[in-house]
Structure 1
């Protein structure tokens, strides 16, 4: 009798061990009805910064484009496109200061929250900054044959396992970054820039976010940066305007104005 109980217990334990990987996977991240990871929600992006108040969820000061990643990859003439001197003309030095679009990929690393929606066949990203958005089909379609150059580009997506891969082309020549600490130049990309994003859930509330930049007018080969995004279920996007209705006009904010 005793040996029989031992055998039964062993079978139960073995069965539980077989089920364990599935249980762990189920806890790793939520899924949509089609079995793909559910990325929906409001996320603090890679460079999120509070406008005011407690900064415990701020991203530490970062260099968005570390020269070590690309300094030895310039083509002849590439540096002249990438590093552009300040001119005193904001339309060149930092167009968003004149309420012109910030553009992609710069907005991906902006210090504002972003919300992801995931209707069937699409991923939609709303950026808190100036009401920018991207509608990304994930049904396997290719890029448009005649892509018009725009600030946000033409984006198509697909899934590689649990990773959302977004491919973007058709971008105007535009700043990658302005007002970077320690820089005396504006960083520009060319109109040949091709960006690959990879969104990989690593837990129920974190995404590993990878950006690969392929700009053949400037660089000899692509280069990549890696970031992390954090989900905040209680957050909502604020109304952020370039001029009117700013919640923190002139930088004067109360604690209640900051995301909690």
Structure 2
């Protein structure tokens, strides 16, 4: 009996250790997505895969594309025993904490040029002031696809359109080559083609003001993004995006992740026109009598929801 007990205990220890090792390896490993089963995917009358629906990621890429540990906040300062949140986000407590993530970058490395790496470090240090997301600017591509908001794909034989809940962003995927973008924009210009059952979208003409995540990963106006959308089954797609930018990176690099179709009554986009929510942040100090900005949260009188216009 005792021999059996110790044998089982030893086996359990080996199993837990192996599991722990595999979990640790996953933190620095490459994103793993199953191969598609061509016979199981929905198709349109023309035979093309049917991407129609509302989609959303389940990952932490919007915090940081790379593998990362959990931490107290995005904005930190030096504390007596380790980093602590800066005063501006201290009152958020655990709500402002950053969850851990295994990363979505293939190889877990973004190949920055030296000057671009320094800029990323500065961006991260000044996240509260510099991240375009805080001011509700359009997120750009590929970030729009892995923010914690759903997006909807509208697909027909003649057109493909993507609408995003965040900030009302939208993309028209041109099925014929539109040529060079006439002007750089927040969401760029998208040209879609088919590679077998994979929808390939080339995105150019983005301005240099968007970030890839809250960790300050950035690009220049020379960025070219090549997206690959591949249905794995009726409810899951494999999403890849390869970034090329000779002004910022020494070589192309790729992110990869699954994206899931939402089902049920909540499989629809809601309004999130967040520009209205940052008016006080951006323009409140221009009032004739600006509201104070340095009051502790405990001294601010709450406002009943029914009284908010």
Say whether residues 1:29 and 2:41 are aligned partners.
Answer: yes
Q: Alpha-carbon deviation of 1:128?
A: 1.1
Contact 2:174/2:192, CA 8 A, preserved across alignment: yes
Alignment of 1:63-102 (within 5 A): 69-71=108-110, 73-85=111-123, 86-87=125-126, 90=129, 93-102=130-139
Return the alpha-carbon distance in structure 2 between the equivalents of residues 217 and 203 of structure 1. Answer: 38
Q: SS state of the match for residue 192, structure 1?
A: coil
Contact 2:236/2:261, CA 8 A, preserved across alignment: yes
TM-score by length of 1: 0.68
Q: Which residue of 1 aligns with 2:273?
A: 241
TM-score by length of 2: 0.58
Q: Which residue of 2 aligns with 1:226?
A: 256
Say whether residues 1:44 and 2:63 are aligned partners.
Answer: no
Q: Over residues 124-155 of structure 1, what are the superposed CA-to-partner deviations in whole Å (9 max), with x where a residue is unaligned?
A: 111111111111022xx224235311000011
Q: SS state of the match for residue 230, structure 2?
A: strand
Q: Which residue of 2 aligns with 1:192?
A: 222
Say whether residues 1:147 and 2:185 are aligned partners.
Answer: no
Query: How much is the aligned-residue C-alpha RMSD, in angstroms?
Result: 2.8
Q: Which residue of 1 aligns with 2:140?
A: 103
Cα 1:102–1:74, aligned 2, differ >3 Å: closer, same or farther?
closer
Cα 1:99–1:164, aligned 2, differ >3 Å: closer, same or farther?
same
Contact 1:48/1:113, CA 8 A, preserved across alignment: no
Q: SS state of the match for residue 225, structure 2?
A: strand
Contact 1:147/1:154, CA 8 A, preserved across alignment: no
Q: Over residues 48-75 of structure 1, what are the superposed CA-to-partner deviations in whole Å (9 max), with x where a residue is unaligned?
A: 89xxxxxxxxxx853656595435x333
Cα 1:224–1:74, aligned 2, differ >3 Å: closer, same or farther?
same
Q: SS state of the match for residue 97, structure 1?
A: helix
Contact 1:118/1:124, CA 8 A, preserved across alignment: yes
Say whether residues 1:208 and 2:238 are aligned partners.
Answer: yes
Gaps of 5+ in 2: 1-36, 62-98, 278-309
Aligned length: 202
Q: Over residues 57-96 of structure 1, what are the superposed CA-to-partner deviations in whole Å (9 max), with x where a residue is unaligned?
A: xxx853656595435x333423234443344773xx1223
Gaps of 5+ in 1: 1-23, 50-59, 181-185, 246-260
Cα 1:243–1:134, aligned 2, differ >3 Å: closer, same or farther?
closer
Q: Which residue of 2 aligns with 1:62?
A: 101
